[in-house]
Each structure stands twice: as structure tokens, then as C-alpha cells.
Amino acid sequence: MRNYEVMYIIRTDIEEENVQSAIEKFQNVITNGGGEITKSNVMGKRRLAYEIEKFRDGHYVLVNFQAEPAVVAELERVMKISDEVIRYLITNDVVA
């Protein structure tokens, strides 16, 4: 398994319980695919550097995990079709 890091921004116009359910949905994609979440950090509501889709704020979430590349492809597919996510970025977490 490889180490990955995903940071995503959730819209602020949805309710807090929907934010938590979206975070759980993405974490379930990782764990159901056989991955392991090593660290999860909900950074909370922050100001965006620039306006994205008419949003100036967003809920930032950072997750470090270990998984196979197929799990990462599935996570990316789910984030693309999810209405809650404004932006996301999945990177390899290389340990030096």
C-alpha cells in the first residue's frame, strides 16, 4: 500500500450535519476499499484565497491514508460527482 494525502474543501452553504456526513462518506470510500486512515484533520471553516463557484469560504479537511491506487481512483471519482466538494487534491505522501 502507498501513502496518500487528500485535501478537500466542502461548501459552506450546507448544514453542519451534512458536512459531517460528507466527511464520513469519503472516509468510508477509503476504508471500504481496504485502505487505512492514518490521520484526519478537520480544519474547519476558512477563507478561500480566491472565489470558487461564487464561494468565498469553505470547510477544509486534510486526510492522510494508506491505500492501493484503485482506492484512490474510486475516491477521486466520488469526489468529482459529489455536490458538497468545491475543490480537492490527492497527492502521494512521500516519506523521505
User: Residue range 47-75: average pLDDT?
Assistant: 92
- Which residue has better confidence, 77 or 96? 77
The pLDDT of residue 95 is 64
What is the distance, to the nearest Å, from the Cα of residue 46 to the centroid of all Cα atoms in its chain? Answer: 15
Cα–Cα distance, 32 to 28 (Å, whole number): 6
The pLDDT of residue 46 is 92
Residue among 66, 62, 64 at smallest CA distance from 2 = 66
Mean pLDDT of the chain: 91
Phi, psi dihedrals of residue 9, rounded to the nearest 5°:
-120, 125
pLDDT over 50 at 96, yes or no:
no
Cα–Cα distance, 83 to 78 (Å, whole number): 10
Cα–Cα distance, 5 to 53 (Å, whole number): 24
Q: Which residues contact 87 (CB under 8 A, 6 or more apart)?
A: 8, 9, 52, 58
Q: Give the model confidence (pLDDT) of 5-47 as tens digits.
A: 999 999 999 888 899 999 999 999 999 989 999 999 999 899 9
